[in-house]
Every structure is written in structure tokens, then in C-alpha cells.
Amino acid sequence: MMVSCCGLITSQKEPVPLKSVEVELEVKDHVATVVSTLNYHNQEDKPLEAVFVFPLPGDAAVCHFSATVGQTEIVAEVKEKQEAREEYDDALSSGQQAFLLEESEQSPDVFSLSVGSLPPGESASIRLEYVTELAVQADEGLRFLLPAVLNPRYQPQGSVGSEGSNVQVTSVPASLVPYTLSFSARVSSPRPVSKVESSSPLDPLQYLNTEQTQATVKLAAGHKFDRDVELLIYYKDAHQPSAVVEAGQASSQPGSLMGDSVVMLSLYPEFPQAVMSSVASSGEFVFLLDRSGSMHGERIKNARDTLLLLLKSLPLGCYFNIYSFGSSFEHIFPKSEDYNQKTMEEALKKVEEMEANLGGTEILEPLKHIYRQPSIPSQPRQLFVFTDGEVGNTKEVINLVKQNSASHRCFSFGIGEGASSALINGLAKEGGGHAQFITGADRMQPKVMQSLRFALQPSVVDVSVKWDLPSGVSVTALSPPIAAVFQGQRSLVYAQFTGQSSEASEGCVTVAYSLAGHPSQTQLHFSLKPAEDSGLTVHRLAARTVIRSLEMQVREPGGQEDAGGKKKVVDLSVQSGVSSVFTAFIAVNKSNSEAIQGPLLRRAIPTPRMRACKVFMVPYSMRMPVMSCDMAQLPQMSPMMGPAFGQKTCKKKRQRAGGMPELPQMSPMMDQSDTLESCRPKQPPRDPLLQLVSLQKASGCWLLDPHLAAVLGKTSEEVEKPKPASVKQDVWATILALIWLHGFKMDAQEEWELLAMKAVSWLRAQKASLVTECVEAGNALLGCNVQKDAVGL
């Protein structure tokens, strides 16, 4: 079968030039520096060339790329992309070794590495370094992800870069992957490190000092990078605002971004408890669910269960609608409907029938349809997007959300291994919302309900940042204006300080905003004295922030590319040494005296064959899709590999339109798992918690019926008998449901907290009598000891 793919193709008989991959992570507070070393050896009698396509975090700033051949280290320079490509081609044409690293024009989380002219018997070591901010999770952990998976990206018809050549895939069992991998991390912070968790097995955390502010951790031996490596880092007192001032580069021009000091502010606004305990009773909630083929199995089941929880947790008085998409899209109602028992039941019935059977992943059209719907007065629009993030037109999608950012907030959820961090983070960032990733054995529900709580928080408006600096020091904001502020969530602000003060060495920043009609502010005093030995990490992250903002402006949808804006990006990218879509890293070994003779052989790293019905890619930088169901039954893939996978010979003989290999893509007509429904496991019986939730009415109450009795593990007679005589049946049923939740399901409280609040509000509105007696009788019936005030009564 012919499929589009990532990485190079080789028969299993050919030697594999990659021998090992080593990844070292250094985390300082909430910033990570990652150094990856890829070691190659050419065991053949002809020179080799290799091209690899691999993922990085979407907001990573690639800041160093070098190659060591023998005793010679060649450090790459950042150059305008076309210039770098031509220099690479010229080097290969003249028989020199050359190395090229470039970012995809379709998605900023995908890179291509070309290793050209590795002589027979020669070894080469490639070193790649990047810095990235660590996102704060709902449970206050900082999330680092080393992407090992690059799923085929679905490319809609008619979009840029949808032409290419056929490439055939080969694979080997995971146990036969012929290279080794290692991963280690060092964590340091002003605050103690309380724990480090991972979806992969870890060796025990080793503390390096008695204060426990420094620690090291490694992946357990024998780990194959056949899935993303996720680390969750927890600090004590994580929510302290902080400022890191970093000195400029002595060799750079004063007044330039790299020549001046740069500050990174980390702010955690705290909202008054009175505001936080109230939940909005209005809003238009639009849920957009990916039903492409790759969502089959557990993913779509998890999504259905999550929509059940969301629909039960919505407040009476709001509006809602559910869209789902694949190659086409559907919506449950023609326009958002008032939330009540009738509309909720109608929606749930359709959710129960949803399968991953809509083909590809075309998210742009349903988004356009949603944005075309007129806003409902006094009902702020909140958009929830659930996707496994396998789209090729990432930048186009994010631009559309940005264009409509004034009319809504967007909350995004990346489902499963390989969800594009650029897409998921970009949707939330440009939509003023919050991003969550659901991987491995994670339950989707707690993370989604956390985001619903954010959506129900009062919206923060009129955000302003004011600086108070000594005379002689001026400030230039480098970050885009803050669009969203949520309780307990970090806001990062970068700024450049020009000039110096002879007197005061302290500055102050005030972030002011309006919350639920009340003016509020967060203030931070900080020293202007640069931190010791911080390198240029903050400068590079700040440069990356500016570059991303400029790139968005250069390519406004429907407009011509802005040549002046593009020059600004290229200049800043070259000056800071940070990659961009318009530049590339190029290294040429000019010290080798003999030109390499003969045409270059192309060699690839075979992919591991993973568990059934899933699509995985091989580790960190050598990828092509592997389908482990019967190949003959899989759909035909679109032939969309980019031209750079063609044989490289003399520059004059090559067509390199577009340069970098296209992302691995799927046919516009179907997703690669579209025909895998036969692999789906039988549906297990529904979890008792979800059964109880499914019985709740839109108003918040439960009815006393056999279904409720069954969930509680009782007969109808056993449930009805202890009810105090004058108490209404639905009041008694609702109190029993609340006691059961508090008595047996406290470990999942974040999942049911909002719908329990709705039930308590309903009970209060009934002005129910004998509540104390009901709680005592309910405890006796269910064998619990739940206090009345714990339930909220």
C-alpha cells in the first residue's frame, strides 16, 4: 500500500545510520532547556544522505544546532530559508558535508533535519537545543512534553502543499528497533520540588540538596520512545509571582532586543472568594467534537462520557449547541438552543449515537459556521474544542480563532498521543481560553470540568499592564496584550528594558483588570539587577514570542504576504539565533579537504510496529506512520510527500518547490483509521458515576425510580421505605444522590462538583423541610457518614 509518511524509507536489509538518541532536560522554575543529541554512523561503502521529520513543542524556541564530524564541530547559523536551502544544495553539489534544520510552513511544531554527505565509515553527532515555557496544569503541576509521536496530519483539499510523491512504508516490531534512547532531567527552583510524575516509568527522584530545591530524574532503563514522554513537575507554593531579569548579550547592539536586559514576569492573580464561589448562570456553550477516524475506540467513548458530564453541569438559563466534524460537519440544533430538560435530552440522545465515522479532520469549516452565528445578547460565547489535533493547516485554523477572539473564549483539548501542541495551545491562546492535554490513561473528565469552571468564572476585562521604573530606564512590551486571566492560572509577560538608572535598582509592575464589575489589580516589585548565570534563555523565549506575533501579522488570511513584516521576522530570527518559519539553520563542513564522490544513498530509520488499531511514530526525530491492523484493509492514503524526499543530486537537476518535506498527510476523503471500526472493543458496562449523572434532570434534581435504586445498589422498595412521610420523592432522591457522591466518589469530586452545586441550588429553591432527617436516613440506608454541611445543605 502506498501512504504518505514521515521519515525515510528503507528495506529491512539495509543498515540503519542512527545509533542512539540522548535527551537532556534542564528545568529552571517554569522554563525548560532541552538538548537532544543524535548519533549517526555510516557503515556502508557509499556516502549517505538522510532527511528526518519530527515534532517539537509548538512554542519551542530552537536556539542551537551543530554537528560534530570526527574532531570537527560545525555550528549552524540562522539564515533566510531560501538562502539556507541554496547553500545546502551548493554544498551537496560540490561534495561537501552539510546539515539543514527548518520549521514547517504549515505547523510550527514540526521540523525537518537534513544530514547531507556522510562519508563511508564516518560518524556524526547532531546536537539540537531548544527552550520552552512549561504550561501550568489544572492541578498546579508544570507540564513538560517530549513529543515522540508525530501523527499523520490531515490536509484538507485545496490547501497549500497538497501535492507530492508516493512513498512506501516499512516497519519492524518495537523490539527490533536498532538504536538506543536515553532521557534525563535536572530540575531546580527557588521553591522545593515536591514531586515529579510521568506517564512513563521513572527512576526515583534524587534530591541534590537538603532544601530539595534541586533534583534529578531519569526514565527507567529499557524505555522505547514509542510514545510521548510527559513529565509533571510540582513545586511547593507554586503560585508565587516572580520576575527574572536577564542581562543582554555584550556583543549585541544596545537598544536591540538581544543587547538590552529582558524581564520575564510570571503572574498568578488571586480572585476574591466571594467572586469565585459564584457560578455564572448565563452563556452560550458550543462544543465542537472531532469525529474523524483516528478518534475511534476509547477516544470517542471518552468524549461521549465527557459531553454527558458537561451537559448535566450546564446552568439553567444558558444556551448550547454541539457540533461534530470529520471530512464534513454536523450540528445538533440549527442554532444554539435554550438549555432545558427537553433540549438536554434531545442532545444526549444524539451524543449517544456519535461514532468516529466522519472521515478526515477538517476543523476550519465548522469553526467558520460557528463564527457566522449571531451572538446572543448577555450570553457570552464559550467554545470547547475536542480533537486529536492531526491537522495540517494549523496556522490557518489559529488565525481564524484570532480573528474572532473578541466575540468568544476558546477552550481546547488535545486527545491522545501526538496531538499538535501548536494547534491546541494556539486555539486557547488566541481564543483567550485554556488548553488541556489528555494522554495515556488520563481521564478526560477532570480536565474538561476544570475548564468548564474557568468558563463559568466571571470574565476578566480591561486588562492593562503598567510599569513603574526609575528615571533613565524605558520599557518596551514584547508580549501581546493579556487576553485572558483565570483564577490560579499563570500569565507570562516579557518586556525589554533600555537604558540604565544611576540610583534606584527596583521596578514595579501592576496588572489591573475588572472582574465582575469590580476593579482589581496584582502588583509585583522586583530587582532590576540581572540574575546570575541565566544565559540567554529569557531573551530567546522573548524573541520567540515577538517572532510568533510578527508571523501572524505577515500572513493575515486572504492578504498578501507583508514583505516588510517578513524582513522583521528574518532580522530578529538571525539576530537572536531563534528559528522562524522564514529562516533555517544551515551548517556546512568547509574543513573536509576531499569532495565526497558519487551519488548519495538514501537511508532511513525503520519504524516500530505498535499495538493494534493505533497509529504511532518512532522516537523523537525519525518518523513514519505505522498501521498495525491488516494493511490490506486500510484505506488508500493520499500521495502527499514533499519534493525534498526526492533524490538529491546536482542543484540544477532538482526541483525543490517548497523545500521542506510536507507534513505526513492523509487523504482529504478519509482519516487513516476510518475503516478500523471492526477493531473496536465491545462496550464495557457504564461506570456507576456516569449512570447516576445520566439520571439527573436539567434542573439539577433526581427522580425516585428503579434506575436510581439500581445505581445505589438497592431495590426500589429499599430506597422508598426510609423516606420521611412528608418529604417529596424528588427531594429524597436528590439528597440520596448527593450522599452517594460524597460518600463513595470523593476521588472524582472535580467531575461532579458543578452538577452537585446545581442539585443543592434546586433543593434550596424547594425550601424542603426535614433535610436533617433525610440526610440521617440516607446515611443509614447507604452505609455512609456524610455531614449535612459537607453536602452544602
Per-position b or e across 101-122, b if 16+ CB within 10 A of its CB: bbbbbbbbbbbbbbbbbbbeeb
pTM score, whole prediction: 0.77
User: What value does the mean pLDDT take over residues 680-684?
Assistant: 45
Shared domain for 696 and 671, answered yes or no, is no
Please identify which residue in the block is written with the cell numbers 490557518.
396
Residue 160 confidence (pLDDT) above 60: no
d(Cα 742, Cα 755) in Å, to the nearest integer? 13
| Range(s) of the domain holding residue 762 | 688-791
- Residue 620 scores a pLDDT above 50: no
**pLDDT given for residue 170 in this prediction:** 36
d(C-alpha 318, C-alpha 380), whole Å: 10
If asked whether residues 101 and 174 sit together in one domain, one would say yes
* Assigned domain for 76 exists: yes
Whole-angstrom distance, CA of residue 292 vs CA of residue 392? 14
In a domain, 544, yes or no: no
**pLDDT-based confidence at residue 212 (cuts at 50, 70, 90):** very high
Q: Helix or strand or coil: residue 609?
A: strand
pLDDT of res. 346: 95
Percent above pLDDT 90 for the chain = 35
Residue 92 binned pLDDT confidence (cut-offs 50, 70, 90): confident
- CA 209, chain centre distance (Å): 33
User: Based on the domain organization, do 389 and 445 belong to the same domain?
Assistant: yes
Confidence of residue 614 (pLDDT cuts 50, 70, 90): very low
- pLDDT(660) > 70: no
On whether residue 258 sits in a domain, the answer given is no
Does some domain include residue 114?
yes
CA–centroid distance for 606 within its chain:
27
Question: Average pLDDT, whole number, for the chain?
Answer: 79
Among candidate residues 393, 425, 456, the one where a domain is terminated: 456
Same domain? For 180 and 58 the reply is yes
Neighbouring CB atoms inside 10 A of 736's CB total: 29
User: What pLDDT does 320 receive?
Assistant: 96
Q: Identify whether 567 is part of a domain.
A: no
pLDDT, one tens digit per residue, over 570-594 is 999 999 999 999 999 999 988 765 6
Q: How many domains does the chain contain in total?
A: 3
Question: In the β-sheet with 229-235, what is the strand arrangement from edge to edge?
Answer: 135-136, 142-146, 229-235, 193-198
What does the pLDDT average to over 171-181? 59
Q: Which of 7-21, 135-149, 240-254, 259-273 has the lowest mean pLDDT?
A: 7-21
The residue among 603 and 122 whose pLDDT is bigger is 122
Query: Using CA atoms, how far apart are residues 649 and 743, in angstroms rounded to an integer?
Result: 71
Question: Where a domain ends, among 623, 648, 675?
Answer: 675
Q: Where are the alpha helices (DSSP H) in 334-468?
A: 341-352, 364-372, 394-403, 421-430, 444-456
- Examine the domain organization and report whether 285 and 332 are in the same domain: yes
Q: Is residue 543 part of a domain?
A: no
Residue percentage of the chain with pLDDT more than 70: 78
What is the pLDDT at residue 278? Answer: 66
pLDDT digits (tens, 9 = 90+) for 278-294: 667 788 999 999 998 88
The average pLDDT across 545-556 equals 83
Three-class HEC string of 741-769: HHHHCHHHHHHHHHHHHHHHHHHHHHCCC
The whole-angstrom separation of Cα 652 and Cα 486 is: 56
Whether 603 and 701 map to the same domain: the answer is: no
**Residues 6+ away with beta carbon under 8 Å from 251:** none
- pLDDT at residue 154, as a whole number: 55
Question: How distant, in Å, are the alpha carbons of 210, 300, 618 from that of 610?
Answer: 43, 20, 10
Band of pLDDT at residue 672, cut at 50, 70 and 90: very low
**Last-in-domain residue among 432, 456, 480:** 456
Q: Is the pLDDT of residue 237 over 90?
A: no
Grid cell for residue 447: 480536565
Is residue 536 included in any domain, yes or no? no
Grid cell listed for 791: 453536602
Domain shared by 634 and 722, yes or no: no
The domain that holds 410 is classified in CATH as 3.40.50.410
In the structure, how many helices (H) and strands (E) does the chain have? 17, 40
Cα separation of 171 and 624, whole Å? Answer: 9
pLDDT tens, residue by residue, 472-531: 899 999 988 887 777 767 888 999 999 887 776 889 999 888 887 788 888 889 988 887
As a whole number, mean pLDDT of residues 685-713 equals 90
d(CA 784, CA 600): 74
Let me know: does 100 contact 82? Beta carbons within 8 Å: no
Q: What pairs with residue 412 in β-bridges? A: 385, 435
d(CA 409, CA 384): 9
Task: Determine the average pLDDT of the residues in 18-41.
Answer: 89
Nearest to 524 by CA among 244, 257, 134, 247: 244
User: According to the model, what pLDDT value does residue 17 have?
Assistant: 77
The pLDDT value recorded for residue 72 is: 86
pLDDT reading at 647 higher than 50: no
Whether residues 113 and 184 share a domain: the answer is yes
| Same-domain status, 24 and 112 | yes
Return d(Cα 363, Cα 290) in angstroms, integer. 8
Q: What is the pLDDT of residue 592?
A: 65
Q: Tell me the residue length of the chain.
A: 793
* Angle (deg, nearest 10), helices 298-313 and 749-766: 30
- Rounded Cα distance between 772 and 767, Å, is 13
Is residue 26 a contact partner of residue 580, using CB atoms and an 8 Å limit? no
Q: Do 303 and 429 share a domain, yes or no?
A: yes
Q: Do 49 and 198 have their domain in common?
A: yes
Helix (H, G, I), strand (E, B) or coil at 167: strand
pLDDT at 661 over 70: no
Better-scored residue on pLDDT, 170 or 600: 600
Q: Give the span between the Cα atoms of 525 and 649, in whole angstroms.
A: 59
- As a whole number of Å, the CA-based R_g of the chain is 28
Same-domain status, 667 and 738? no
User: Which residue's entry shows cell 468568544?
Assistant: 408
Task: Return the C-alpha cell found at 217.
Answer: 530524574
Tens of pLDDT, residue by residue over 414-423, are 888 777 888 9
pLDDT of 460-473, one tens digit each? 778 889 999 998 89
C-alpha cell recorded at residue 233: 513537575
Beta strands in 175-277 (DSSP E): 180-188, 193-198, 206-207, 214-218, 229-235, 242-246, 261-267
pLDDT (0 to 100) of residue 668: 47
Q: Is position 265 within any domain?
A: no
